[in-house]
């Protein structure tokens, strides 16, 4: 049924303001039915009138702007100086080549940068803010950008507020508004209207875009979207700043600056040697500038951007959405993963398997899954109140099969869904029960109290409060005079937990003082019983845990369940091994910092921990030298997620607050996905190291070749434009494609990347020395030998130019793996690299055989037989590195 349309568009700043209007007038002005929300027709009309719920975004850079950005580089400035110098010396062909190289470099860089930007934009859309609304009588989750005025927002602890809205219902609602008002503590909210002049920070019947609920539940009607919200009015102050450089980007930038200094020293050295040799100044200057270009790692920034973008895309394809670039590099260094149990290690398909009733009666429950099929093993009058409490003290919905879904499903928390299934199995009509015992008030679940309570109007009691929560918390409210029952319940709860059951306790109080909190119920509650739920482990997690162990990563369970439940699951999955133990929140509270750090290596499970203790666990592990990934889903997990080296939020069960605090969102809530993301983090870092190795090795051989020729009294072995061609074109077609390498397959058999690992370590320097030495020996030896034969200098330079390019082709194959043979890897492993090699070879052929390019690059055509000989010589670079890899592999096999 279509809701009546408003007579005119809701004004963006109504008079009187929204907070001053009673709820009835707000709903009338917005023509909104709070029981069913807006219809599809209403939504379409209002979106056409008011647009999307978005703030102005910085304009997307045009293609021309991206191309222009490529010219803002020290490398390009050097090349322009070289072009001007060539023109001044009447070397017009050289100037044309240099300018064409500059243009080609800009186009390649613009293409790669544009592709990276599109990848980042698509990933940002994947992590867009979602909100819950009531539309057409149904609760649904939508992107916040889709909200329109008049939408009914549904808020619970951890939900982000997607638009400015007026409260129409509220139960213990608290909202964090620091981002908008600067208020450091959450603000309690209520429904009644307020005076017109009430300031923004005191409008307690409003919720605002950009804030989030920290406790309680509420319904609110949207009154402003987009630029009409309070945040929208100060949009200039809230625009997202450019993300700072990651530590790895900073280290690579510093590395690049060192190489620029080295390039300047090289320039001075080459000029000095050329003048000493009395070579033509023009030729010396051009070659010196070209060699300086060869020392500048022009391909490294682009390679870094592409490596991160490709890594993020691959992770997204496996269910891990990266929200902070720094997470990509930190993942490769992760040494500890602190993971929740429910839904991450287990399937989050809760099923009640056992009941315990006062008096010691145990009731088995058959059937698995959410289909209400199965039965209780016994019928007992005592089960009635327990099952009613399970159904009423509950915020989930049990949804039967229909056209859009083929199976029974749960809307809400799976634990509460399993309780509804239990009640239906026992023959309870949920809708009828809700009518005869309507809810009057509630205390929403709180991570600190580990309980929730609801008050109902029942036929035999005007005010009845049902309590649900952790056994130790609920038993603390029960009548202290019945110590035997309390002790029996504790023993039963521990026995159930030891069988890997998740245990909840239920109690009842006939009272109307719910607003006073749980303290007012202490000592007066009557225990109804215990409910044990089983959540089977995910089949793939045991293998993922073993993979973590092999990769030098220790998994640690951090759970809200009983420590015996957690320990049982941890032992089954291999998280807890012989000698490991579990510690609960109470024990952790009693431990000093020194004791905690000393025992960390033996604690596999932290149970019943509250948010502040999660933060303490992370900090203790970090103080122990660990790089910590921490999972979380609740609003109270946000501080620990932000404090961890890698905060991982759950995409299915996670609150919007947890997602905002995290660096990674796991879309399937699966531990195996986290392990896969760690592997990809190692792949990204490994590929960047491959690029650095390649650029370093290929730059050094050119420099040494030139210096040897100058010191030995030989003519310059390469023309300036030939040096530029090798550095810009030959390297440019290979560098970016090298970072596209897929995993080697042994990433998770290596130790974690040390935090602050050197970009150029001793092992890399050894490989650079070997590859450069062989390349220089081959090219310089050929150059000297051919000169000694009296071959024309143009032919010798062309052969040396081609031989050096071929050495770089073989070197890129060497860089694909530090230990595995390039012959075993195969070119088809990375089709991007195969394409780059093919392009580089084709361009080299053009330079050799196209007459106009012969003139520009001072080359002459080479006979096919000469090319085969040069290729055989260049392959010495490959065979030398293959020998080193073989020795390395044999050495590892001998290690016991």
Instruction: Report CA 198 to chain centroid distance, whole Å.
Output: 41
pLDDT at 476 over 60: yes
Mean pLDDT in residue range 576-586: 91
Measured between alpha carbons, how far is 70 from 78 in angstroms, rounded to an integer? 13
Q: Among 769, 787, 768, which Cα is nearest to 779's?
A: 787
Q: Is 212 helix (H, G, I), strand (E, B) or coil?
A: strand
Mean pLDDT in residue range 395-406: 77
Instruction: Report CA 809 to chain centroid distance, whole Å.
Output: 35
Query: What residues contact residue 821 under an 8 Å CB cut-off, 6+ apart?
Result: 882, 885, 886
SS (H, E, C) 503-527: EEEEEEECCCCHHHCHHHHCCCEEE
Q: Which helix (H) or strand (E) holds 172?
A: strand 164-176
CA distances from 250 to 70, 247, 256, 676 (A): 19, 5, 10, 26
Percentage of the residues of the chain whose pLDDT score is greater than 90 = 35
- Sign of dihedral through CA atoms 299, 304, 309, 315? positive
Question: What average pLDDT does the structure give for the chain?
Answer: 84
pLDDT of residue 628: 93
pLDDT of residue 56: 66
Measured between alpha carbons, how far is 582 from 562 in angstroms, rounded to an integer? 10
Query: What residues contact residue 314 under an 8 Å CB cut-off, 6+ apart?
Result: 680, 683
pLDDT of residue 629: 92
Taking the CA atoms of residue 711, residue 712, residue 717 and residue 719 in that order, the dihedral angle to the nearest 10 degrees is 40
Least reliable range by pLDDT among 233-247, 346-360, 405-419, 795-809: 233-247
Q: Which two structure tokens, joined as six digits, stand for 708?
A: 């040897």
Look up residue 10 and give its DSSP letter: P
Q: Mind listing the pLDDT tens digit for each residue in 64-76?
A: 777 777 777 666 7
pTM value is 0.73
pLDDT of residue 2: 45
Count Cα neighbours of 118 within 13 Å in the Cβ-side half-sphere: 9
Q: Is 354 helix (H, G, I), strand (E, B) or coil?
A: strand
pLDDT at 176 over 80: yes
Mean pLDDT in residue range 548-555: 93
Mean pLDDT in residue range 478-483: 75
Taking the CA atoms of residue 100, residue 307, residue 742 and residue 551 in that order, the dihedral angle to the nearest 10 degrees is 150
Higher pLDDT, 96 or 464: 464
Catalytic positions are 340
Peptide bond into 16 cis (omega under 30): yes
Q: Are 25 and 55 in contact (CB under 8 A)?
A: no
Please provide the size of the chain in residues: 896
Q: Which helix (H) or strand (E) holds 214?
A: strand 212-224
Q: Among 77, 95, 178, 561, which Cα is nearest to 348's?
A: 561
pLDDT at 110 over 80: no
| Ranges of H-type helices in 714-830 | 720-724, 732-738, 762-788, 793-814, 822-825
Least reliable range by pLDDT among 276-280, 737-741, 891-895: 891-895
Q: Among 279, 286, 228, 256, which Cα is nearest to 82's?
A: 286
Question: Taking every pair of C-alpha atoms in the chain, what is the biggest distance, in angstroms?
Answer: 114
- Sign of dihedral through CA atoms 94, 96, 99, 104? negative
Mean pLDDT in residue range 381-394: 88
Least reliable range by pLDDT among 21-30, 32-41, 127-136, 798-807: 127-136
Least reliable range by pLDDT among 66-70, 233-237, 322-326, 769-773: 233-237
pLDDT of residue 377: 63
Q: Mind listing the pLDDT tens digit for each residue in 841-891?
A: 999 999 999 999 998 888 999 999 999 999 999 999 999 999 999 999 888
Higher pLDDT, 736 or 613: 613
pLDDT at 576 over 80: yes
Q: Which two structure tokens, joined as six digits, stand for 350?
A: 């809760």
Mean pLDDT in residue range 696-703: 85
Q: Mind listing the pLDDT tens digit for each residue in 180-213?
A: 776 667 888 999 999 988 888 889 999 998 888 8
| Predicted confidence band of residue 403 (pLDDT cuts 50, 70, 90) | low
CA distances from 803 to 348, 699, 705, 812 (A): 61, 15, 12, 15
Measured between alpha carbons, how far is 191 from 155 in angstroms, rounded to an integer? 14
| Ranges of H-type helices in 178-246 | 178-181, 230-233, 235-238
Mean pLDDT in residue range 105-115: 67
Q: b/e for 767-785, b at 16 or more Cβ within 10 A?
A: bbebbbbbbbbbbbebbbe
| Predicted confidence band of residue 775 (pLDDT cuts 50, 70, 90) | very high
Measured between alpha carbons, how far is 885 from 188 in angstroms, rounded to an integer? 66
Helices 671-712 and 281-295, packing angle to 10 deg: 160
Least reliable range by pLDDT among 27-36, 256-265, 603-612, 679-688: 256-265
Look up residue 245 and give its DSSP letter: P
Look up residue 377 and give its DSSP letter: S
Q: Are 331 and 678 in contact (CB under 8 A)?
A: yes
Helix (H), strand (E) counts: the chain: 34, 24
Mean pLDDT in residue range 633-647: 82
Q: Are 426 and 513 in contact (CB under 8 A)?
A: no
Look up residue 357 and give its DSSP letter: E
Q: Which two structure tokens, joined as six digits, stand for 86?
A: 């060539």
pLDDT of residue 241: 39
Cα angle: 396, vertex 398, 400; to 5 degrees: 160
If you compute the radius of gyration of the chain from its CA atoms, what whole number of angstroms results?
A: 34
| Ranges of H-type helices in 31-143 | 40-50, 63-69, 74-88, 92-126
Measured between alpha carbons, how far is 233 from 226 in angstroms, rounded to an integer? 9
Measured between alpha carbons, how far is 176 from 185 in angstroms, rounded to an integer? 7
pLDDT of residue 613: 87
Query: What residues contact residue 782 under an 8 Å CB cut-off, 6+ apart?
Result: 799, 800, 803, 870, 873
Measured between alpha carbons, how far is 694 from 565 in angstroms, rounded to an integer? 52
Q: Which two structure tokens, joined as six digits, stand for 583?
A: 């510690």
Q: Which two structure tokens, joined as six digits, stand for 66?
A: 């991206």
Q: Mind listing the pLDDT tens digit for each residue in 265-279?
A: 888 888 888 888 888
pLDDT of residue 215: 81
pLDDT of residue 238: 35
Mean pLDDT in residue range 742-760: 83
Taking the CA atoms of residue 112, residue 116, residue 119 and residue 124 in that order, the dihedral angle to the nearest 10 degrees is -160
Q: Are 532 and 501 in contact (CB under 8 A)?
A: yes
Q: Are 548 and 671 in contact (CB under 8 A)?
A: no
């Amino acid at each position: 049924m279509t809701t009546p349309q408003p007579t005119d568009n809701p004004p963006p700043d109504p008079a009187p303001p929204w907070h001053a209007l009673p709820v009835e007038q707000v709903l009338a002005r917005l023509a909104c039915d709070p029981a069913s929300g807006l219809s599809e027709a209403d939504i379409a009309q209002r979106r056409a009138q008011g647009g999307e719920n978005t703030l102005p975004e910085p304009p997307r850079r045009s293609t021309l702007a991206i191309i222009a950005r490529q010219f803002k580089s020290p490398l390009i400035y050097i090349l322009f100086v070289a072009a001007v110098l060539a023109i001044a010396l009447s070397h017009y062909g050289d100037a044309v080549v240099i300018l064409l190289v500059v243009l080609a470099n800009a186009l390649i860089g613009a293409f790669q940068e544009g592709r990276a930007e599109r990848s980042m934009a698509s990933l940002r859309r994947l992590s867009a803010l979602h909100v819950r609304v009531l539309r057409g009588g149904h609760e649904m989750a939508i992107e916040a950008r889709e909200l329109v005025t008049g939408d009914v927002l549904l808020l619970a602890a951890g939900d982000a507020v997607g638009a400015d809205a007026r409260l129409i219902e509220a139960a213990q609602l608290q909202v964090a508004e620091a981002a908008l008002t600067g208020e450091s503590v959450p603000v309690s909210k209520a429904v009644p209207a307020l005076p017109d002049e009430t300031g923004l920070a005191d409008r307690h019947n409003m919720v605002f875009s950009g804030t989030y609920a920290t406790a309680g539940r509420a319904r609110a009607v949207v009154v402003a979207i987009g630029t009409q919200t309070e945040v929208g009015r100060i949009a200039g102050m809230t625009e997202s700043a450019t993300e700072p450089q990651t530590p790895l980007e900073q280290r690579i930038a510093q590395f690049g600056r060192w190489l620029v200094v080295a390039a300047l020293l090289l320039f001075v050295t080459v000029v000095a040697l050329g003048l000493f040799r009395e070579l033509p100044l023009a030729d010396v200057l051009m070659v010196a500038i070209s060699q300086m270009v060869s020392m500048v790692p022009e391909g490294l920034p682009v390679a870094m951007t592409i490596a991160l973008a490709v890594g993020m895309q691959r992770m997204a394809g496996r269910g891990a959405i990266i929200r902070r670039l720094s997470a990509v590099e930190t993942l490769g260094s992760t040494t500890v993963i602190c993971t929740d149990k429910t839904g991450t290690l287990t399937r989050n398909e809760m099923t009640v398997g056992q009941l315990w009733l006062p008096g010691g009666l145990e009731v088995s429950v058959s059937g698995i899954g959410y289909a209400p099929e199965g039965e209780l093993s016994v019928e007992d009058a005592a089960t009635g109140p327990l099952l009613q409490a399970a159904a009423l003290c509950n915020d989930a919905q049990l949804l039967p099969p229909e056209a859009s879904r083929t199976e029974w499903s749960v809307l809400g928390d799976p634990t509460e869904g399993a309780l509804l299934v239990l009640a239906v199995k026992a023959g309870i009509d949920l809708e009828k029960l809700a009518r005869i015992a309507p809810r009057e008030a509630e205390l929403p679940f709180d991570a600190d109290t580990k309980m929730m309570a609801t008050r109902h109007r029942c036929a035999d009691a005007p005010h009845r409060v049902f309590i649900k929560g952790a056994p130790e918390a609920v038993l603390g409210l029960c009548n202290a005079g019945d110590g035997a029952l309390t002790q029996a319940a504790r023993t039963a709860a521990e026995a159930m937990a030891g069988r890997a059951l998740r245990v909840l306790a239920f109690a009842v109080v006939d009272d109307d003082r719910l607003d006073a909190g749980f303290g007012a119920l202490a000592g007066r509650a009557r225990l109804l019983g215990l409910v044990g739920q089983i959540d089977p482990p995910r089949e793939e997690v045991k293998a993922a845990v073993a993979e973590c162990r092999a990769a030098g990563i220790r998994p640690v369970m951090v759970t809200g369940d009983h420590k015996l439940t957690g320990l049982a699951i941890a032992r089954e999955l291999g998280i807890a091994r012989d000698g490991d133990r579990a510690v609960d929140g109470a024990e952790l509270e009693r431990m000093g910092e020194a004791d905690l750090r000393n025992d960390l290596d033996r604690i596999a499970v932290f149970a019943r921990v509250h948010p502040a203790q999660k933060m303490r666990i992370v900090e203790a592990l970090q103080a122990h030298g660990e790089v910590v990934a921490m999972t979380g889903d609740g609003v109270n997990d946000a501080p620990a997620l932000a404090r961890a080296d890698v905060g991982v939020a759950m995409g299915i069960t996670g609150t919007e607050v947890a997602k905002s605090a995290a660096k990674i969102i796991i879309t399937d809530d699966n531990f195996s996905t986290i392990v896969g993301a760690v592997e990809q983090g190692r792949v990204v870092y490994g590929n960047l190291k491959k690029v650095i190795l390649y650029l370093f090795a290929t730059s050094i051989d050119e420099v040494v070749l030139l210096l040897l020729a100058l010191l030995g009294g030989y003519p310059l072995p390469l023309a300036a434009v030939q040096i530029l061609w090798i550095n810009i074109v030959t390297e440019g077609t290979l560098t970016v494609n090298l970072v596209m390498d897929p995993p080697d397959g042994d990433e998770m058999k290596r130790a974690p990347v040390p935090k602050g690992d050197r970009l150029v370590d001793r092992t890399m320097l050894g490989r650079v020395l070997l590859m450069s030495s062989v390349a220089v020996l081959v090219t310089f030896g050929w150059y000297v030998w051919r000169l000694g034969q009296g071959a024309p200098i143009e032919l010798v330079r062309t052969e040396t130019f081609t031989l050096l390019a071929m050495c770089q082709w073989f070197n890129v194959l060497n860089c694909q793996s530090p230990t595995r043979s390039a012959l075993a890897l195969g070119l088809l492993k990375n089709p991007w690299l195969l394409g780059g090699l093919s392009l580089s070879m084709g361009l080299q052929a053009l330079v050799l055989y196209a007459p106009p390019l012969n003139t520009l690059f001072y080359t002459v055509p080479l006979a096919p037989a000469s090319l085969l000989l040069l290729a055989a010589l260049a392959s010495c670079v490959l065979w030398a590195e293959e020998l080193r890899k073989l020795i390395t592999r044999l050495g590892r096999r001998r290690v016991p």
